[in-house]
Structure 1
Amino acid sequence: MRDERFVFLDEKQLDNEIVRPSLTYWQDAWRRLKKHKLAMIGVVIIIFVILFGVFGPYFTPYSYSDQSNDFRNLPPMLDVFNVDEGVNLYLSSDYNMFLVADNGEMVRKLKIDKRDVINKIYEYSLDAENSDEVVILDFSYNTLKDKQGYDYDYTIEYRGSVYQYSNESKFNKSFPFGTDDLGRDILTRVMYGARISLIIAFVATFVNLFIGVIYGSISGFEGGRVDNVMMRIVDIINSIPLMLYVILLMVWFRNSDGLTNIIIALSSVYWVSMARLVRGQMLSLKEQEFVLAARVIGVPKYKIILRHLIPNAIGPIIVSMTMMIPSAVFTEAFLSFIGLGVSAPQASWGTLANNALSGLTTYPYQLFFPAMAIAITILAFNFLGDGLRDALDPRLRKG
């Protein structure tokens, strides 16, 4: 008698059955990572920052140390006076006059022919060959107001016409991020800063990964007295401030640059958190049946650690490594900001932020761009770390 609780399929129905293909651990992790939108945004930003730092300097005509004393403290946006066809004048915060092309390129700095400090009148030569082509800057008109009611401390006179305020804004095509107090291109220096910051972050992180994984694996797998001694060493290292490490290294390695000191300092300290994480993973994994089976058949301890324990703990290790990179970027920026980083004229994001402090109220863009680079990079790695945590942790799988 046929049991109605079961439905038997014929051969045609079996052929049309859709079977989900089997996926490996990493294929499944990549599938779930792609569903994490913030993580993918972080991946795109990280790739852009790497390309920006590695290949960006090849597309600029300047080096990180090139100085243009005539074009100091120029902002990314120029409020120009369009006084004639092809004649655009920009007045900087330190009262230097510049000739700007129609497309926003800086042409030259105008020479000051006359400076009347008492009457507050400055006279600039527009054309060196024609002495009649002058621009008069008059600070005596300090009560004029524009259409919005803002006071202007000066007027510009050219060929008998008086201009009270700039009538056009142009993007600084010669220096898209502006220049600093020495006339160096901030865009180029931010690119080189990306190189230094990422080199320090990646080198320190991979060194810490190697030391922390090996140290934590041995400590967790051996246990007992060996674990106690090794963890006490970690506690001692972790109790000494990172700043003290850097100061001592700078005194010890007097002939080396700040880049080497920071890499050594980060590599000698940051691995302790990785060691603690790996030790915890080893303590939970070494009691599993597959480890007991490997011990019974006589597999050496180092092979158990390298072939069985570390591969099974690779998910948390990768997530922790991803989180260590933004921490290293921020630490490098902080050390460079307080003067313990790379030496001049090299540029890192922290050094650029430090150089911008003196003119923060007058030239805020000099701090904005390196600070924005630091913030975007740290956010991108944090987004990627969150996505990797969700993708690699089997307890968080939702399909």
Structure 2
Amino acid sequence: MNYNFIIRDNPWKIRFFFCIMGIMYISKLASDTGANILQELEKRRVELVAKGVDIINLSVGTPDRPPAEHVMQAVQKAAGEPKNYKYTLIEPPALIDAVQRWYKSRYGVDISADEMLSIYGTQEGFTHIFHALCDPGDLVITGTPAYPIFSFGPLMTGARVYYTPLLPENKFLIDFDSIPQEIARKARVIVVCYPSNPLGAVADMAFYERLVAFAKKYDIAVIHDNAYSELVHDGEPGGSFLAAPGAKDVGIEFNSLSKSYNLTGLRISFALGSARIIGAFKKLRSNFDYGLSSLDHIAAISALTGPQDVVEGNREAYRQRRDVFCAALRGNGWEVPMTPASMFTWFPVPVKGLTSDHFCIDLLEKTGVICVPGSSFGEGGEGWVRFALTQDKTRLEEAAARIGGYLRHYS
């Protein structure tokens, strides 16, 4: 039985009710949180595979390409040394130097030791950063559609979230002028992500300069997710928010090795920027975080300081896959836009009258192709779907052919 209706009542009455009923109390956050759609799709995938269905999984953004050989060799060697199984507590000097050199050479940004912190992946960083910046009831601005942790992270602290729409007519960029002044004045934090997941949108330096000006005007901290700067398909290479003048006065960005270097399972990411924010985050984390493992440190140092062929290879592979997939879908009757960056494509639902959830589930059942409904990225994602470019070109063409056959039933 669902007793969630009681949670709106006085908290002491809530606990008394559960006590006399002999029911363990579950928090409002946990009670109100639904299951992630990816888990539901995966459960159905397993069921269909057991029946012999050939599944083309274009849902989760896990790279299918291997890490660089020199990184795997470095980790394998380090794994044989007992000293690498102890707590690390802080970043070793070699890691700090590697990150500093990489940021300088890649973005032209100087990073001091007190302006960086290693974390267990960007998702984990977003889970905890708001505890350093927000109190219950504070307001956080984020876009919609957006990656779910951008809003779930603040909600875990008891903060409130204001969702500003990211619209195709604005190239999915935040329109700062559309954010009401009363919202901007109350906001503690604004979350930004470019190149973005799921949208694949790209921001230029002029946008970041407007972001810094907006943050300074309203005294708002900026958190920028920069996971996909190495996967820009067209035009100029991806940049960094921190390259904008004054950026480190107002915010930080997360940068990850997961997609750039195919190291998703090692969970290596960095928070970089404002020394004040990084300092607060470090102090907070010292109460629950004993640092990445030495194996993670060695993998990161090897990736950042070694040959960069794997990054260039990833960028070219995803660009080719995007081109092949989009061309194949168009050839099968779906006029899709060209997503400019990331390892994803973002398309409008092609069948009128179907929600994104309905379309994705129906497509899986009838074709064996899995994509993610836009609604899982917030209200602003309804009417759209995301495909991950995590299969080779032949499988992507096969997926497009199946989708074409599916769409012909609706034409």
Which of the five TM-score ranges fits, normalised by the shorter chain?
under 0.3
Task: Give TM-score, length-normalised by structure 1.
Answer: 0.24
Return the index of the structure with the highest Cα Rg.
1
- State TM-score, norm by structure 2: 0.24
Q: RCO higher in 1 or 2 (8 Å CA, sep ≥ 6)?
A: 2
The structure with more helix, counted as a fraction of residues: 1
